[in-house]
Amino acid sequence: MKRLTIPENKLLKLLTNIFLVLGSNLFCSAILEKPIDDFVFNFVQSYGIGDWNFYLNLSDWIYRFIGIIPVIVITRFIWFGRIFPGPRITRSKD
């Protein structure tokens, strides 16, 4: 099976990175916004901490924190090739 090849041109890498990051942000906002709001609202209501501003700030902070993870992973993959670099075996020892 062929691996995903990323172009060597820096401009194409930059454009690919921008489009994938925008796509992941749109996807995360469409999928994760309602469950995060529900979770934070239930947490704040059940423990009786904070007020409405605290709820809005906490849900926004959690949403941004979870949304930054795909951005870091996509950027790392596009610019450096491997997400978790390990040792590469280049020759065998006889």
CA separation for the pair 6, 68 (Å, rounded): 22
Which domain, by its residues, includes 69? 10-79
- Is residue 5 domain-resident? no
Cα 38 to chain centroid, rounded: 21
Asked if residue 32 lies in contact with residue 66, where contact means CB atoms within 8 angstroms, the answer is yes
**pLDDT above 90 as % of the chain:** 2
- Is residue 49 domain-resident? yes
User: Per the structure block, which two tokens stand in for 49?
Assistant: 């901490």
Looking at the structure of the chain, the number of domains it has is 1
- Is residue 2 domain-resident? no
pLDDT digits (tens, 9 = 90+) for 16-60: 889 988 888 888 778 888 888 888 888 888 888 777 788 788 888
| pLDDT for the residue 94 | 57
Half-sphere CA count of 45, side-chain side, radius 13 A? 6
